[in-house]
């Protein structure tokens, strides 16, 4: 698969003057709920109404979706509002039913993308379809697996493709439900700049308070659109209650988002914006890593305190210097820079330890 401008044809066909938006509830619950939300989303920036019909649940016993009957509700919502309809498919049977009910946008969920057999089954069933097929990143942070999913669909002659970035599971406790690992999506974007890239802030954050912030970050990185879980009664939603927003909040998010206009920009400016956005993400990663390093320094300070050992251990510091000069060189960094950088880091680390020992 090679990058080609044609990858964007389906998106360009919407002729939007704002980012592409998919919105709707995590799950279709009842016919009334589907119709109510769809009506509140028509005449807004939303192009596609989403609702999960089959819900992959981590543990059995939860709400697993209403199934086929929900597709009828989506058809009715489409007839009444003119919105396109989208849902998740995970098996050949889901794909067949979705096609039979003329669902416009099918997406492959994160758990499914992690399984090449399942993706291949979907690709075989959807072979040659002109429906829009979006592939979410796999649950594990593996760019090749994500790309492999796109390739399987592409090789099945599906031309209207896009990717959804929904973050990655982690055992660590973080402020996110699924950590974004922005650099993975950026790497995919660098390889396929014309493959539409959509942010799913709902599953990244897991809470409605952070939706705007994460969507803005994505737009700053030139994402093409967003998929945001939206429900008229989020607190009582049958799945993902904490992360859904109301249609009113969604419309406020549209107003608050700062959308850079791309058309009219010179090629130079476009390139610079993209590169600078990359730099910003990397800087953020550097700072987070340095913060983590200082947490470890604090722990070392505590161990030294408990054992009444001096903060500065010269042999250890000399060892570190040698190591970082060698590792720096491998990464294209000059010896002068590596030493300067690590002197500053070491100094900060000593100050942290001093505080632990004396404070
Ligand atoms: C969903 O979109 O509701 C969903 C189940 O998402 P994911 O595959 O990203 O977990
Ligand atoms: Mn959900």
110 CA: nearest ligand 1 atom: 8
**Pick from 130, 158, 131, 134: nearest CA to 146:** 134
264: confidence class by pLDDT, cuts 50, 70, 90:
low
Phi-psi region of 287 (alpha: psi -120 to 50; beta: other; left: phi over 0): alpha
Report the nearest-CA residue for atom 4 of ligand 1: 109
Query: How high is the pLDDT of residue 139?
Result: 98
- What pLDDT band is residue 70 in, cutting at 50, 70 and 90? very high
Q: Is the pTM of this model over 0.85?
A: no
What is the pLDDT at residue 186?
93
Instruction: Compute the distance from residue 22 Cα to the ligand 1 centre, in Å.
Output: 13
Residues near 81 by Cβ (< 8 Å), separated by ≥ 6?
A: 38, 39, 41, 42, 49
pLDDT digits (tens, 9 = 90+) for 293-303: 999 999 999 99
Average pLDDT on 268-293 reads: 89
Smallest-distance ligand from the CA of 110: 1
Residue 263 scores a pLDDT above 80? no
Q: What is the pLDDT of residue 261?
A: 62
**Lowest-confidence region among 284-288, 293-297, 310-314:** 310-314
How far is the C-alpha of 219 from the C-alpha of 105, rounded, in Å? 22
Nearest CA among 93, 108, 179, 178 for reference residue 146? 108
Quick: pLDDT tens for 174-191.
999 999 999 999 999 999
DSSP string of 59-106, one letter each residue: STTS----TTHHHHHHHHHHHHH--EEEEEE-SHHHHHHHHHTT-SEE
Specify the 3-state DSSP secondary structure of 152: helix
CA distances from 78 to 34, 46, 124 (A): 10, 13, 27
Check residue 20 and give its pLDDT: 98
Distance 114 CA to ligand 1 centre (A): 13
Burial label, 201 (beta-carbon count in 10 A; 0-12, 13-18, 19+):
buried
For the segment 211-254, what is each residue's pLDDT rounded down to a tens digit?
Answer: 999 999 999 999 999 999 999 999 999 999 999 999 999 999 99
Nearest CA to ligand 1 atom 1: 26
Q: 54 CB contacts (<8 Å, ≥6 apart)?
A: 64, 65, 67, 87, 88, 89, 90, 94
- Minimum-distance ligand 1 atom for the alpha carbon of 166: 9
| Residue limits of CATH 1.20.59.10 in the chain | 266-358
> Can you tell me which atom of ligand 1 is nearest the CA of 26?
3
Residue closest via CA to ligand 1's atom 2 equals 26
**CA contacts within 13 A on the Cβ side of 264:** 3
Nearest to 146, CA basis, from 160, 136, 158, 161: 136
State which ligand 1 atom lies nearest to the alpha carbon of 27.
3
For residue 52, count other CB atoms closer than 10 A to its CB: 26
266 has a pLDDT exceeding 80: no
pLDDT score at 265? 66
CA–chain centroid gap for 87, Å, is 17
Task: Please give the pLDDT value at position 313.
Answer: 78
User: 4-256, which class in CATH?
Assistant: alpha beta
Average pLDDT along the chain: 94
Give the whole-angstrom CA distance, residue 34 versus residue 162. 25
Task: Tell how far the Cα of 109 is from the centroid of ligand 2, in angstroms.
Answer: 10
Q: What is the pLDDT of residue 183?
A: 92
Helix or strand or coil: residue 22? strand
Q: What percent of the chain has pLDDT over 70?
A: 98
- Ligand 2 centroid distance, CA of 341 (Å): 43
The CA 168 to ligand 1 mean position distance, Å, reads 11
Could you tell which of 55, 88, 185 is best to mutate to test the pocket of ligand 1, judged by most ligand atoms within 8 Å of the CB? 88
Question: Which atom of ligand 1 is found nearest the CA of 167?
Answer: 9
According to the model, what pLDDT value does residue 358 have? Answer: 87
Q: Looking at residue 96, what is its pLDDT?
A: 98
**What digits encode the pLDDT tens for the residues 75-123?**
999 999 999 999 999 999 999 999 999 999 999 999 999 999 999 999 9
Positive or negative, the CA dihedral 149, 150, 152, 158 is positive
Q: What is the pLDDT of residue 249?
A: 98
Q: How much distance in Å is there from the Cα of 311 to the middle of ligand 1?
A: 49
Q: Does pLDDT of 54 surpass 70?
A: yes
DSSP code for 27: B
* Ligand 1 atom closest to residue 112's alpha carbon, by position in its atom list: 8
Closest residue CA from atom 3 of ligand 1 = 26
* Pocket, ligand 1, Cβ cutoff 6 A: 26, 52, 56, 88, 109-110, 136, 166, 203
pLDDT in tens, 25-37: 999 999 999 999 9
The answer for residues whose C-beta is within 8 angstroms of residue 82's C-beta and 6 or more apart is 42
What distance in angstroms lies between residue 217's CA and the mean position of ligand 1's atoms?
A: 20
Q: What is the pLDDT of residues 124-152, one digit of tens each?
A: 999 999 999 999 999 999 999 999 999 99
Separation between Cα atoms, residue 66 and residue 87, nearest integer Å: 12
Residues of the chain with CATH 3.20.20.70: 4-256
Cα 239 to ligand 1 centre (Å):
10
List the residue whose alpha carbon is closest to atom 6 of ligand 1.
Answer: 109
Architecture of domain 266-358: Up-down Bundle (1.20)
């Amino acid at each position: 698969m090679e990058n080609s401008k044609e990858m964007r044809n389906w998106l360009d066909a919407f002729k939007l003057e704002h980012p592409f938006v998919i919105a709707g509830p995590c799950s279709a619950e009842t016919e009334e709920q589907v119709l109510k939300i769809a009506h509140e989303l028509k005449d807004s920036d939303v192009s596609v109404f989403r609702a999960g019909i089959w819900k992959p649940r981590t543990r059995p016993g939860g709400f697993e979706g209403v199934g086929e009957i929900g597709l009828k509700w989506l058809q009715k919502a489409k007839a009444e509002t003119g919105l396109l309809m989208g849902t998740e498919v995970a098996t050949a049977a889901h794909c067949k039913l979705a096609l039979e009910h003329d669902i416009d946008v099918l997406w492959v969920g994160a758990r499914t993308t992690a399984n090449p057999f399942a993706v291949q089954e979907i690709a075989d069933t959807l072979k040659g379809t002109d429906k829009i097929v979006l592939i979410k990143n796999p649950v594990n942070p593996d760019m090749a697996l994500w790309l492999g999913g796109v390739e399987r669909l592409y090789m099945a002659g599906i031309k209207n493709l896009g990717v959804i970035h929904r973050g990655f599971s982690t055992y660590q406790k973080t402020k996110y439900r699924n950590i974004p690992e922005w650099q993975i999506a950026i790497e995919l974007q660098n390889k396929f700049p014309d493959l539409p890239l959509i942010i799913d802030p709902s599953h990244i954050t897991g809470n409605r308070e952070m939706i705007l912030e994460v969507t803005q970050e994505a737009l700053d990185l030139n994402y093409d659109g967003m998929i945001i879980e939206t429900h008229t009664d989020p607190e009582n939603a049958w799945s993902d209650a904490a992360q859904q927003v109301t249609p009113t909040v969604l419309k406020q998010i549209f107003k608050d988002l700062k959308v850079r206009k791309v058309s009219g920009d010179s090629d130079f400016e476009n390139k610079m914006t993209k590169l600078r956005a990359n730099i910003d993400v990397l800087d953020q990663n550097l700072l987070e890593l340095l913060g983590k390093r200082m947490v470890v320094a604090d722990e070392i300070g505590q161990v030294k305190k408990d054992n009444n050992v001096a903060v500065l251990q010269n042999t250890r510091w000399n060892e570190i210097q040698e190591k970082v000069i060698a590792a720096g060189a491998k990464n294209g960094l000059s010896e002068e820079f590596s030493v300067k950088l690590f002197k500053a880091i070491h100094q900060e680390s000593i100050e942290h330890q001093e505080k632990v020992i004396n404070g």
